[in-house]
Amino acid sequence: MCVSEEDNRSIVVVKNGKDSLDMCRVVNGMWQTSGGWGKIDRDNAVDAMLKYADAGLTTFDMADIYGPAEDLYGIFINRIRRERPPEVLDRVRGWDYSNRGYLDALKHLNDLKEEG
């Protein structure tokens, strides 16, 4: 069973047993970058992502079918590392396939869906 602990910030902590996932309550969906709505200007897209992160919207959802979403996220993360304090990077969340924890995140999301 997943339990969420909320506080007065924009972050929610979802727990399942001893596992937990903290993420922004608002998820930035990267599906718009799939190309179905025209050409994506990489610089403008990454600038927008930085503005979202600066505003506290630090969770990004992407998938391999979202066109250049993962490439844009990589550029975004590199700019975060260069241009923002380290604590900003600590708050940013996105799918990272080298970290198998994304499977846990998917399970948490599925559990929440099943719970309604």
Which residues, at least 6 apart from 15, have a Cβ–Cβ distance to it below 8 Å?
Answer: 2, 3, 4, 5
Q: Read off the pLDDT of residues 49-76 as tens digits, 9 standing for 90 and up.
A: 999 999 989 999 988 788 899 899 999 9
pTM: 0.73
Residue found by looking up tokens 């799939």 in the block? 34
Give residue 108's domain range.
2-115
Looking only at the bridges linking them, the beta strands covering 93-94 and 11-16 are unpaired
User: What pLDDT score was predicted for residue 2?
Assistant: 38
pLDDT value at 115 more than 80: yes
DSSP state of 60: E
State the total domains in the chain. Answer: 1
Average pLDDT rounded to a whole number, residues 93-97: 77
Average pLDDT rounded to a whole number, residues 16-32: 82
Query: In the predicted model, what is the mean pLDDT of the chain?
Result: 84
